[in-house]
Structure 1
Amino acid sequence: MQSLAAVATAAVSVGATGTAAADEEYEVIEADGQTVTISDGETWENKLIDMTTGGDIIVTAEGTGWTIRNVGFHGENASGTGSATFGVADTGGDTSTVENVYLGDGAAEGNQAANGHGQTAFWVNPEHSGHLDFANLNIQGFTDNAIYASAPGTGGGGTVHIDGCFAANCYVSHYRVATEGSRITNSSVLVDDGGHDGRGIWAWSPGTIEVDGCQIEMNGTNTAIDAGANGNGTEVVVSDTDYDEKAGVAEHAGSTVQLEDDVGTDPEAFMPDGVPTSAEEAARK
């Protein structure tokens, strides 16, 4: 795959808190093992990350009122580091935002970390105490969860809202959440032939988790909605959603999954409006 640095002739550099002057402007960053740090009130936007280098990149965001948006990753993450591409938390008790990110080129198998299953797309660290909005994300082919947001359930207790997102062919799960007030809405999960077959939605304690307006197409693999883990139960309320009946619903450790009357079993995964379908599309917005 050709390096983006060689072809992105229209790219310009924009600062961590700056805004690109026109839709076609973005900064190309070659992944070479660096860490990008975002803190209180900062905006990190209009970035195109070149993963064809074979290197890794980690983006960490803590504090409050920060924003990550319009970021595309071109090429598979072949670093094998077992890292999380994004490690995020609102640690100030307010709201931070991640929107319009393309991670659809996935990650190769391999894991140099001491634990885990490979690369994670988004990791929400246990100290998260505020609220995180995830919107218009495209995440495919990651081996250690697409959005791994269950850790605050035993930590800071912060909430997450996953809205208008698409996740496909990831393992261990696609959307993994825990805290009361967390929601997954207007989003899709797809597992198809040859893909990693992680859970569709995995709800951890304490809950309650709301699922609304989603399509969970598992093609008979794993579990569509899995409630409870490590001996601790939770509650999930599902509405206006279709899930794969063969993959089914699992309730562990006294968990309950409440299926409202408008829930069906004929899922058809969709790409929500506004979700980028390429790295360049994400970076140019």
Structure 2
Amino acid sequence: MAQNPRTSESDTTPTAGRNTGLTRRNYVRSLAAAATAATTLGGVGTAAAQDDYEVIEAGNQEITVGSGETWENKLIDMTTGQDISITTQGSDWTVRNVGFDGKNNSGAGTATFAVSDAGGTSTVENVYLGDGSDGRNGRSTGHGQTAFWVNPEHSGHIDFQNLNIQGFADNAIYGSAPGNGGGGTLHIDSSFAANCRVSHFRLATEGSKVTNSSILVDDEGYAGRGIWAWAPGTIEIEDCQIEMNGHHTAVDAGANGQGTTVVLQNTDYDEQAGIAETGGSTVELGDDTGTDPEAFVPDGTPTSAEAAASGGN
């Protein structure tokens, strides 16, 4: 998939063991048993009819969601060992109820979702990407797999709600690029990210925020930053749990010599991992900020691919 290049900031944290047990899917029914019919999807891969969702085999296809469109109730079979990429265009689109069954072992180094909104408000909700990716970089990109990448041209607003992203090799939500581009905003709410490399939630623009969400880094996967705030900011973090178990940095403010501002409210972060302020950045801690985090999967967030695809959790 042709995507705008992602900035590859240095990250000295080595890759640890892979995530094998943390809030993994409880079960996923046999795709062979679930599939009742097969049809060609865009000339690449197959899709199977389902009572409540469509099963799509990853076959290096590119799917585009345009203005006003809704792409929903999909179960993506990643056990093919190939990639799939979903790109949004225009504004006021919706992606919901999508589950990815199996680790992305394609080595493509793409972003599974490349999203932007051109001046409106779009929504991503109820998505399971909890099986992660392997650690290889794509030959053409030089990057590992990213779960969500926000195009620098993004100028509207995107609501991310009830996402479960674990074990990705290059950011869970890479949302900082609009800070040097279209200036669009992001709101990540009631979501869970764990054991991703580089960072979990990465934001840059005034009005962007993370609320009611949890981040976990333990000894079972990649060890990236909890939340990475880029210029210009201000970035708001409220009602969150950032449990790092001493790995990397809980909240990292500033990058590439440019400062930003982060405001924490009613949030617990790992004191050992700590807070970094670079490039003249400031992290403001509210009186209700604590240092005893307990990460958890928020209510309504899917814990399996099938649950996400069928609209449950």
Instruction: State if a TM-score over 0.5 links the two structures.
Output: yes
Following the alignment from structure 2 to structure 1, what is the Cα–Cα distance between the partners of residues 189 and 219?
26
Is 1:156 aligned with 2:182? yes
SS of the residue corresponding to residue 52 of structure 1 reads: helix
> 1:194 Cα shift?
2.7
TM-score when scaled to structure 1? 0.93
Contact conserved, 1:66 with 1:97, CA < 8 A, in 2?
A: yes
SS of the residue corresponding to residue 178 of structure 2 reads: helix
**C-alpha spacing 1:163/1:26, structure 2 compared with 1 (3 Å):** same
**How high is the sequence identity, in percent, across the aligned residues?**
69
Following the alignment from structure 2 to structure 1, what is the Cα–Cα distance between the partners of residues 125 and 71?
11
Q: Which residue of 2 aligns with 1:226?
A: 252
Q: Which residue of 2 aligns with 1:269?
A: 295
**C-alpha spacing 1:251/1:163, structure 2 compared with 1 (3 Å):** same
> 1:8 Cα shift?
1.4
> 1:117 Cα shift?
3.7
Is 1:237 aligned with 2:263? yes
Contact conserved, 2:210 with 2:238, CA < 8 A, in 1?
A: yes
Q: Which residue of 1 aligns with 2:99?
A: 72
Is 1:6 aligned with 2:35? no
SS of the residue corresponding to residue 40 of structure 1 reads: coil
Q: Which residue of 1 aligns with 2:116?
A: 89
Q: Which residue of 1 aligns with 2:150?
A: 124
Contact conserved, 1:116 with 1:144, CA < 8 A, in 2?
A: no
Contact conserved, 1:4 with 1:50, CA < 8 A, in 2?
A: no
Is 1:52 aligned with 2:79? yes
Following the alignment from structure 2 to structure 1, what is the Cα–Cα distance between the partners of residues 243 and 31?
37
Q: Which residue of 1 aligns with 2:23?
A: none
SS of the residue corresponding to residue 34 of structure 2 reads: coil
C-alpha RMSD of matched pairs (Å): 1.9
> 1:5 Cα shift?
3.8
2:240 is aligned, of 200, 205, 214, to 214
SS of the residue corresponding to residue 280 of structure 2 reads: coil
2:200 is aligned, of 160, 174, 184, to 174
Matched to 1:47, the amino acid is K
> 1:4 Cα shift?
5.0
**C-alpha spacing 1:158/1:11, structure 2 compared with 1 (3 Å):** farther
Following the alignment from structure 2 to structure 1, what is the Cα–Cα distance between the partners of residues 146 and 177?
14
Q: Which residue of 2 aligns with 1:193?
A: 219
Instruction: Provide structure 2 residue ranges, at least 5 long, that are not aligned to the other structure.
Output: 1-27, 42-49
Following the alignment from structure 2 to structure 1, what is the Cα–Cα distance between the partners of residues 88 and 105?
23
> 1:10 Cα shift?
6.5
Matched to 1:213, the amino acid is D
> 1:6 Cα shift?
0.7
Following the alignment from structure 1 to structure 2, what is the Cα–Cα distance between the partners of residues 168 and 178?
21
SS of the residue corresponding to residue 79 of structure 2 reads: helix
Following the alignment from structure 1 to structure 2, what is the Cα–Cα distance between the partners of residues 158 and 227?
19
Q: Which residue of 2 aligns with 1:32?
A: 59
> 1:109 Cα shift?
1.2
**C-alpha spacing 1:97/1:12, structure 2 compared with 1 (3 Å):** farther
Q: Which residue of 2 aligns with 1:135?
A: 161
Following the alignment from structure 2 to structure 1, what is the Cα–Cα distance between the partners of residues 182 and 137?
28
Instruction: Provide structure 1 residue ranges, at least 5 long, that are not aligned to the other structure.
Output: 16-22
> 1:122 Cα shift?
0.1
SS of the residue corresponding to residue 90 of structure 1 reads: coil
Following the alignment from structure 2 to structure 1, what is the Cα–Cα distance between the partners of residues 217 and 116?
28
Q: Which residue of 2 aligns with 1:20?
A: none
Contact conserved, 1:10 with 1:24, CA < 8 A, in 2?
A: no
2:283 is aligned, of 257, 263, 266, to 257
SS of the residue corresponding to residue 153 of structure 1 reads: helix
Q: Which residue of 1 aligns with 2:10?
A: none
Contact conserved, 2:110 with 2:141, CA < 8 A, in 1?
A: no
**C-alpha spacing 1:11/1:160, structure 2 compared with 1 (3 Å):** farther
**C-alpha spacing 1:94/1:279, structure 2 compared with 1 (3 Å):** same
